[in-house]
Amino acid sequence: MTLDLVIQQLVNGLIVGSFYALIALGYSMVFGVIKLLNFAHGDIYMSGAFVGLVVFSFVGLRVGTGWLGVVCALLVSMLAVGLLGVVIERFAYRPMRNAPRLSILITALGASMVLNGTALALTGGRHYAFSTDLGFAGVDISTVHITYTQMVLVAASIGLMAGMQMFIARTMYGKAMRAVSIDMGASRLMGIDVDRVIALTFFMGSALAAGGGVMAGAYYGSVHFFMGFVMGLKAFTAAVIGGIGSVPGAMLGGLLLGLLEAFGSSLPLVGSEWRDVFVFGALILFLVFKPTGILGRSVVERV
């Protein structure tokens, strides 16, 4: 493997790993607070991409299709889809909070199918172009061209993840989230509004996934109703690798998974069609040999 190929795959791995990490954060935050594997989260990511596309189509006519239009689409999508996450929690998950784990897991799968089916019905299953004018300017390292767009996407993803970590570690609501994750009953007795904390957790996790969806749509130039399925499964894998329930673990797991996928598919005699084999093979290995992940708790014991 040449140095140029190493640099190129490093860039590719960091970009896709950033998307995985943003979605994995939502998995870990929700699991950490209410011990739910929210399998609708990949479809939240897809919903964010479509909301961003609709907003971008309108604001692009006024502010252009460059970075300003993308940022407007990103912010509106994060707000709208964050509220969608709150609605799903209120009407699908909250009534099932004390139900058996299998029941609420099936509810999550049902919520995923509702979102996916709605997108299919509204779009007819077509791919829609997310046409931006971000340019291809950048820097050259040897024969590898790294665009400013790639740099900004990775930096924005890391910034969002760092901001989330600071919020959880340093704010009163963040402390309330950690308290609820440790003991929901005791937190309620201490005066914490548990329902509000859980709703906020869903809002923030959904907003991050929506942000990832908009950035992925702008980067790849296309969105479609099925884009959240495999991405959601891979983000779940990233959360397990990093340690589900751990916010830093979700960040680390997403980036590591992106790098594993990029470098694994570039090995001799191995093509890009083997990417999913590396990803889900890693999931099986971690569940068998290290179910706690790198920084978190065991998903096998908790669910």
Strand partners, 18: none
Rounded to an integer, the average pLDDT of 180-201 is 93
- 8 Å CB contact between 294 and 252: yes
Strand partners, 160: none
Distances (CA, A) of 78 to 44, 81, 188, 191, 261: 10, 5, 29, 29, 27
Give CA–CA dist 238/259, Å, rounded. 11
Give CA–CA dist 302/300, Å, rounded. 6
Rounded to an integer, the average pLDDT of 176-183 is 91
Q: Tokens in use for 43?
A: 């479809």
Q: Tokens in use for 250?
A: 């979700």
Whether pLDDT at 271 is above 70: no
Q: How would you classify the pairing of strands 128-129 and 222-223?
A: antiparallel
- Determine the 3-state secondary structure of 241 from DSSP: helix
**pLDDT score at 204:** 95
Rounded to an integer, the average pLDDT of 17-41 is 91
In 23-129, beta strands by DSSP E? 128-129
Confidence of residue 303 (pLDDT cuts 50, 70, 90): very low
Q: What percent of the chain has pLDDT over 70?
A: 96
- 8 Å CB contact between 215 and 19: yes
This prediction has a pTM of 0.91
Q: Is 139 exposed, middle or buried (0-12, 13-18, 19+ CB in 10 A)?
A: exposed
**pLDDT score at 141:** 86
Whether pLDDT at 279 is above 60: yes
Query: What is the rounded average pLDDT for all residues in the chain?
Result: 90
Confidence of residue 301 (pLDDT cuts 50, 70, 90): very low
Using alpha carbons only, what angle is made at residue 24 by residues 262 and 102, rounded to the nearest 5 degrees? 125
- 8 Å CB contact between 116 and 45: no
**pLDDT score at 52:** 96
Residues making up the chain, counted from first to last: 303
**pLDDT score at 117:** 96
Identify the weakest region by mean pLDDT among 1-15, 64-78, 181-195: 1-15
